[in-house]
Structure formats: C-alpha cells, structure tokens
Structure 1
Amino acid sequence: MPAASWAPLSPAERAVAIEVLTHGPVSRSEIARKLNLSAGSLTRLTKPLIESGLLVEDPAAASFPLPVQGPGPAPAAAPAFPAVKVPPPDARIPAPTTRQGRPSQPLDIVADSRFFAGFKITEDTVYGVVTTLKSDVVAARALPLPTREPADVAGLLHAMTMDFAADFPRLAGIGVGLGGYVVGPDRTVTSPFLGWDGVPFVDLLEQRTDLPVVVENDVAALVESEAWFGAGRGLDRFVVLTIGAGVGYGLVIGGQLVRSGDDIRGIGRRWIVNPNGPLTPDGDRGSATALLSIPSIRHQVAAATGRNHTYDEILTLAAAGDPMATRVIDEAARALGTVVAQIANFAMPQKILLAGEGVGLVEVANPAINEAITANRHPLAEPVALETKISDFNDWARGAAVLAIKILVLGRPKPPQ
C-alpha cells in the first residue's frame, strides 16, 4: 500500500495519528484524554486508521484497567497467627483484586512497515539516511556533489535512493532539505547556496524515482523533527536556533511550526545584533550571520592574521588564549547570548534548542554567553531553558525524512482560518 493511500486525513484523524506516532504505544484512554475525545469519537476516528494499516492494536502491550477499590466487611475474629496486626472493627479494607472488563489494547504504529529516505544537500556533499516510520535511522550514506546543476543533483539523489531501495524495498517517499525555500503551487525551489532560482526540483526527482517527494528548507525540516521526536516533544512553545553555514530560526506554537508567506528561515543576514559589529562578505554589518556563522568567524580571523583556520582550530586557539581568536569568539559568544535573550523575551518559549555545526562555541565561551543573556533579560525573568545539540548532517537528513513522513503519510495540515 503506497504512502499516498494513507492521506488525506481529517484534522481529527491526523491529531490521533500524530499522538500515536510520537508517543505510541499509547492507550486509547490516554489519547482520548489528551485530545478531549469521547470513547465513541475515538473509536470512529481510529477505525479507518487501523483498516488502512497506519495504526495497529498492540496485543503484546495490552494493559488492563486498574482494580476497583471498595469496602469490605470487618474481620470477625483475630487471624490464626498472632504476629499479624488485626485491623480495628470499623476498618474498611480493599476488595479482592479482580480484572474487570475487556483489556485495553494500546495503539501503535508498525515502525518498519514503511521506510523513508531523507537528504540534506550542502554546497559540496549530499547526505542521505533511511528512517523507519518512527524516524529511527537505519542506514546512512554521504556522496560528494560534483556539480550543482539541478538535473545532476536530481540524478545523484536518484542513484542514492535506488541504493537505499535495494536494502529497503518498502521505501515510501523522499524528503529533501536544503538552504532555500519552495515557492508557489508548482513547488519550484530557490536556493542561494546552490545558485538555484525557481528550479522545478520536486518534479525532476519524482520523475526519476517514481516516489512522492517533499522539498523543504532544511531548518524547517530540522525544527519539525525536533518538535516531533526530539528536544521539543510535548512542548507547546519551542524554538530551534541553528548556527553553522548560516543562522536559522524556527518557532513552534501549539505543536505547529509557525510559517510565513515566504517561509524564509535564513533570517540571520538581516538580524542586526550589534550595528557596530564586523562587516563580512555575507550579511549586513553586525548581523547574526556576520557574528555567528562559521564562514564569517573564519573570515574575521583570516583577515586579522593572514592565515586560514578551520572553525575547530579557531575554537581551540580561543580556548588556549590566542588573542585574535579569543576576541572573535568572545564577540560571537556575546552575540549568541543577545540573540537567545531576544528570542526568550519576545517568543517566550519553554525551551530553546541550539543546534548545528557551530554549537562548539558554547563549550568554549559559555560564561560570555550567559553574561549576555543575563544583561538582556529582566532581572526577575525566569532562567532561559537552553539546550545544545551538536547536529551532524545526518540529523538534518533525518529531519527531511521526518517531514516526508509528516506530509506524505499524514497530509499537510491546513493553515488556521
């Protein structure tokens, strides 16, 4: 049964499916409680999901209702063994434990019933993973990207998909994450990183693979993945801030990623943190990108020293007290603390996840980050719940696969009216 046959779902069916997907196996009573559904409504909603094969009743994990406690008669005489304490005559003791009613069979999703391919496209490499329906990565591969021509990139992803399909024949869909965004109903892709403008990449890849394809901004895909299965699971207000080749931002409210009309996630080039800050080739003076992105940090150190260093080398130099590396990293740390405080002030999230290849900055310059957060927050404000995660490119590819699961299996949610 192809993934497309599971869609479209009604909003209520979709809510039930998401609850089971992200928390299963889960009892019907728990689903009904969380979604404020009656038993009859839940039965009506789950029936087509079970019949389609998306959900399954899990007899192995069946549970029984808790025993009903009730009064019992007072003992007529003392027990045969004096060592046992006799309850007073007016005591109420539990009735014998009995199982009542039919066992409640939890609902779950068969994780390996379908597999999904997820790809993260960088400027020079394609990272690919295969995940189960519950987003567990079961295979991973990376290949160099010799050319950024759309047809060639589609051909490379096709070849990787066919390799994956040989080992996982129940491959049901493809998700692709890249530094760019999808425009309009024709799903054309614009990506400054790849030099693409209005490229019909979805069609190019679907024609080659004969599988449904979802292409999305890579930050949006990572946010969706973390909101469903990672640091933001179960939270109402959640933010992901990424630093790496650029600076990305995503806000989740009520379990939904907040989207704008253009849905551009790379807002760091216009996010002015310090108007007197550095001017770099990418981003306005003193922007989040100019202060925090890995290329900008490398550019600043190279411009001052005449030597090129990797990002990890710069962090090592700063930790050792090198004057120039220390100055650049301290300025980046203060900028990061300021950005985190601004997010906390205005979005008021329950948690901020800092992710990406650049989060090694936190380990080297954590005191400066915390000082900047404190300086930009009200003295009575609650501490910012900040979590860091060094995300490799396989995590980004997994995010693309999760987005494919979300859209191809459950259907794209309708925007609020």
Structure 2
Amino acid sequence: MTARTASWLPLSPGERSVAIEVLVHGPLSRTDLAQRLNLSAGSLTRLTKPLIESGLLVEVGEGEPKGVPAEVRQGRPSQPLDVVAGSRSFLGFKITADRVYGVVTTLRSDIVARHDRPLISHEPAGIVALLGEMTGELTRAHPGIAGIGIGVGGLVRDRAVVGESVYLGWQDVPLAALTEERTGLPVVVENDVAALVEAETWFGAGRGLDRFAVLTIGAGLGYGLVLGGRRVPCAEEDRGFGRHWIVNAHGPLTPDGERGSAVSLLTIPSIRYQVQAATGRAWTYEEILARAADGEPLPARVVEEAARALGTLVAQIANFAMPQKILLAGEGVGLMEVAGGTVAETIRSHRHPLAAPVDLETKVSDFHDWARGAAVLAIQVLVLGAGREELSDGG
C-alpha cells in the first residue's frame, strides 16, 4: 500500500469534524461526541460509519486495550470511539541554518524516534537530498509512514513553496514538490512557528482553549495567536516578528534590529552580541545565564534587560489579545529560570491592578519539538483531507 492510499481520503466536512474531535479529545462516547458537535444520533451514526470502516476510528471499551479493531471483538454502539494512534506514522523535519532535525510521530503526535544530521550546504538540491536520506533511514526503522511535514523559518506560500528564507538564502523554492519527488511521500511545508502553534493548539498547551497565544524566543522571536480554537494567519508572521516592536526606545542597538526592539533585547544572538561587545569575549547563552545567576554584573544587567523586555511583551499580548493562556517556548526560555521574578514583576506593572493574573506556561523546547509541529501539519492535511489552501485560511 502506498503512502497516498494509506491516507483516509476524502473526508466530508462533517466526517472531518468528527475525526478532529476524537483525534484531539478522544476517546469519546457517541453521546458526548454528538453533544460536542451538536449532532443528532442519526447524523452521528451516518458520519462515523465510514470512519470506522476505513480504520481511522475504532470502538474501545472500558478495560479493553485501545487500538483493537472493532471487528475482532463484540462491539456495542455505546462503546467510546477513538483513533488508533499507532496505525500510521508521520515524519516531521525542522530545517535550521546548520542542521536538519527529524522525528517520527504517531497519529496523535507522540514522538517515537528522533534523528538529526548536519547541513553541509544551503543549496536546495543538497537539503532535499539530505531529507531523502533521513526519510529513508527513518522509514526503514518505522514502516507505515504516511507523509512528511517540514518546518522552515521564513515565508512559506500555499504550504508548499518557501518564498523567502533569509538564513538559508532561499527564494521561491518549491520544497514540497522537490521532496515529494525525492521521497515518494506527500509533503506539507510551513513556517516553523505556525507549525508549532498548530501542534500546541491540537495536542499541547492550547488544547480546548478558545483564545491562546504562543511566544517563542531563541535565535529569533515568533508569535502566534489562536482565536475560536483556530490559528490566525498573518502576513507578517514569517517576516521577522519583533524587529519593529520597540520595547525600550533607549535600549541597545544590534546589527539585526531597531534600537530597543524586542529582537535587540531578547533574542539569543542579541544577548550574546551585547555581552561580547562589552567584554571582547564570545560567551554561550548558557554561560551568560549561569554568570547572571551568580550575580556577575554585566551578564546580570543584560539578562535583567531581557527579562523586562519579555515581561513587557507578555503583558502587551495579554492586554490586547486577552488570551486564556500564553505559552512561552523556544530554546531561549532558560531566561525564566534565572530572571523569572523580573518577568513576573514587569508583567504586573504593565497590567491593570484588577486584571486577572496571566496564565503563562513555559516550555523548554528543542528543535525536535519544532519538527513535531511540522508532523502535526502533515496529520492535518494528509489524514483529515484538508487542503493546503483551506488550512492556510484558518488552521
């Protein structure tokens, strides 16, 4: 069976709604599922029948192992419905400036394998060849791969073409088509932050929330907003978020940001740049945090400025977007361990005294977590049958 015929396509809008509800929140009884989707019992039966017949959904009972097909035991209409999480696997890749990180996930996005390889070249042909090699290695160890998701920092069009990626030096690279040709598997490409937001909305910190925001700090800044349970697409989300968000007009100037911008105060390269400019030494981000925690004056000052910038950003997001939760993620969140008190104090100072406390969740993410986000995009498109354009309009 090929990867394309292994997908459960096509799904009608009603079938897709049922599949998503069970995938994200299951196992669910039919009564609960009908109430959640405002469906009659007859309509639900009509929609679930083809999903069960195709193997996307199965009936499970209390005390029985999940994933046992309904036909091998006595099923009852009252039995809860669930997906067979291990029935299909998905590949997710995150491309950075110097490495490609890959994961294998289940249908519910649980990571079952990790793999990464260094980049030798930024040429599209070289990266596609590397993706092909990694796909071959992972599919040999994990048969049944249904598709691939790829996350790239930069502007991505139609979940297929990398319109611009500064750190790769790319413009108008048809990455999905090239990788499909190389691997023989269907491919979805997306901006890495957008993919992470989708993954956290479906399977992570934002699951079940109507209003949810994600702020990532690391080599750059990323921001994503979810309203009505759906990610809000934005033309600027792939083009250097934070570069013109001025947090302190008298703050530091870096080669890549406006003076006092969120980028110049908060990103890992900017923090390292500030310390190196003052000391003449190139310290790692971890060394700077450790020395700040020990009270060394210069690193402590730079880290405190970064913490105040972060607190200001979080407060502004809370004030204007009014999310139920804000997730702080990325490889730079170690800042919270050293200066979390300053972040919290700054948030309070920028909020109304009677405002509810901000529900701020911190998640230390490595690049494999970003790759998992790309795999979730593949699940959305390939399993649920939503087209690239449809998902681009709202997730």
Q: Provide the TM-score with structure 1 as the length reference.
A: 0.87
Say yes or no: does 1:349 pair with 2:351. no
Alignment equivalent of 1:369, drawn from 343, 349, 363: 343
Say yes or no: does 1:386 pair with 2:360. yes
Say yes or no: does 1:153 pair with 2:127. yes
Query: What letter corresponds to residue 334 of structure 1 in structure 2?
Result: R
1:358 matched to which residue of 2? 332
Q: Quick check: 1:127–1:142 contact (8 Å CA) kept in 2?
A: yes
Mapped to 1, the partners of 2:356 and 2:58 lie a distance apart of 43
1:340 matched to which residue of 2? 314
Mapped to 1, the partners of 2:314 and 2:61 lie a distance apart of 46
Mapped to 2, the partners of 1:13 and 1:285 lie a distance apart of 51
Mapped to 1, the partners of 2:198 and 2:363 lie a distance apart of 15
Q: Quick check: 2:151–2:374 contact (8 Å CA) kept in 1?
A: yes
Shift of residue 202, structure 1, vs aligned partner: 1.1
Pair 61,39 (structure 1): closer, same or farther in 2 beyond 3 Å? farther
Mapped to 1, the partners of 2:375 and 2:141 lie a distance apart of 17
2:34 matched to which residue of 1? 32
Alignment equivalent of 2:140, drawn from 163, 166, 170: 166
Mapped to 2, the partners of 1:186 and 1:106 lie a distance apart of 37
Once the two structures are overlaid, the 10-residue window that deviates more, 16-25 or 257-266, is 257-266
Output aligned runs, 1:193-232, within 5 Å: 193-232=167-206
Query: What letter corresponds to residue 11 of structure 1 in structure 2?
Result: P
Q: Quick check: 1:183–1:262 contact (8 Å CA) kept in 2?
A: no
Q: Quick check: 1:121–1:127 contact (8 Å CA) kept in 2?
A: yes
Mapped to 2, the partners of 1:180 and 1:16 lie a distance apart of 33
Shift of residue 23, structure 1, vs aligned partner: 1.8
Could you say which structure has the greater relative contact order, defined with CA pairs below 8 angstroms and 6 or more residues apart?
2
Say yes or no: does 1:12 pair with 2:10. no
Mapped to 2, the partners of 1:124 and 1:175 lie a distance apart of 19
Q: Quick check: 2:160–2:190 contact (8 Å CA) kept in 1?
A: no
Q: Quick check: 1:177–1:400 contact (8 Å CA) kept in 2?
A: yes
Give every structure 1 segment of 4 or more consecutive aligned residues whose post-TM-superposition deviation is greater than 3 Å. Answer: 1-5, 59-62, 412-416
Superposition CA RMSD, Å: 1.7
Mapped to 1, the partners of 2:235 and 2:296 lie a distance apart of 45
Query: What letter corresponds to residue 46 of structure 2 in structure 1?
Result: R
Alignment equivalent of 1:23, drawn from 10, 22, 25: 25
Pair 224,120 (structure 1): closer, same or farther in 2 beyond 3 Å? same
2:55 matched to which residue of 1? 53
Q: Quick check: 1:118–1:176 contact (8 Å CA) kept in 2?
A: yes
Query: What letter corresponds to residue 95 of structure 2 in structure 1?
Result: I
1:141 matched to which residue of 2? 115
Q: Identity of counterpart residues, as a percentage?
A: 66
Alignment equivalent of 2:164, drawn from 190, 193, 200: 190
Q: Quick check: 1:189–1:197 contact (8 Å CA) kept in 2?
A: yes
Alignment equivalent of 2:94, drawn from 120, 123, 129: 120
How many residues are aligned here? 377
Query: What letter corresponds to residue 169 of structure 2 in structure 1?
Result: G
Deviations 1:369-417 (A, max 9, x none): 112111111111100000101001111111111111011111144637x
Pair 353,3 (structure 1): closer, same or farther in 2 beyond 3 Å? farther
Q: Quick check: 2:159–2:188 contact (8 Å CA) kept in 1?
A: no
Pair 324,111 (structure 1): closer, same or farther in 2 beyond 3 Å? same
When Rg is computed on C-alpha atoms for both structures, the one with the higher figure is: 1
Unmatched tracts of structure 2, length 5 or more: 65-75
Query: What letter corresponds to residue 141 of structure 1 in structure 2?
Result: H
Query: What letter corresponds to residue 38 of structure 1 in structure 2?
Result: S
Query: What letter corresponds to residue 340 of structure 1 in structure 2?
Result: V
SS of the aligned residue for 2:270 comes to helix
Mapped to 2, the partners of 1:326 and 1:344 lie a distance apart of 27
Query: What letter corresponds to residue 328 of structure 2 in structure 1?
Result: L
SS of the aligned residue for 1:120 comes to strand
Once the two structures are overlaid, the 10-residue window that deviates more, 176-185 or 120-129, is 176-185
Pair 263,41 (structure 1): closer, same or farther in 2 beyond 3 Å? farther
Alignment equivalent of 2:278, drawn from 296, 304, 326: 304
Query: What letter corresponds to residue 383 of structure 1 in structure 2?
Result: P
Deviations 1:135-160 (A, max 9, x none): 11111111111111111001001000
Unmatched tracts of structure 1, length 5 or more: 63-101
Q: Provide the TM-score with structure 2 as the length reference.
A: 0.91
Mapped to 2, the partners of 1:17 and 1:375 lie a distance apart of 44
Mapped to 1, the partners of 2:239 and 2:39 lie a distance apart of 35
Say yes or no: does 1:269 pair with 2:238. no
1:92 matched to which residue of 2? none
Shift of residue 173, structure 1, vs aligned partner: 0.3
Deviations 1:250-306 (A, max 9, x none): 011122110024652641212221122111111211111111100000000000111
Pair 53,298 (structure 1): closer, same or farther in 2 beyond 3 Å? same
Shift of residue 110, structure 1, vs aligned partner: 1.0
Pair 128,184 (structure 1): closer, same or farther in 2 beyond 3 Å? closer
Q: Quick check: 1:220–1:265 contact (8 Å CA) kept in 2?
A: no
Deviations 1:10-52 (A, max 9, x none): 3322221111111222111111111111111111111222222
Q: Quick check: 2:28–2:80 contact (8 Å CA) kept in 1?
A: yes
Query: What letter corresponds to residue 35 of structure 1 in structure 2?
Result: L
Pair 137,265 (structure 1): closer, same or farther in 2 beyond 3 Å? farther
Shift of residue 61, structure 1, vs aligned partner: 5.5
Pair 358,186 (structure 1): closer, same or farther in 2 beyond 3 Å? closer
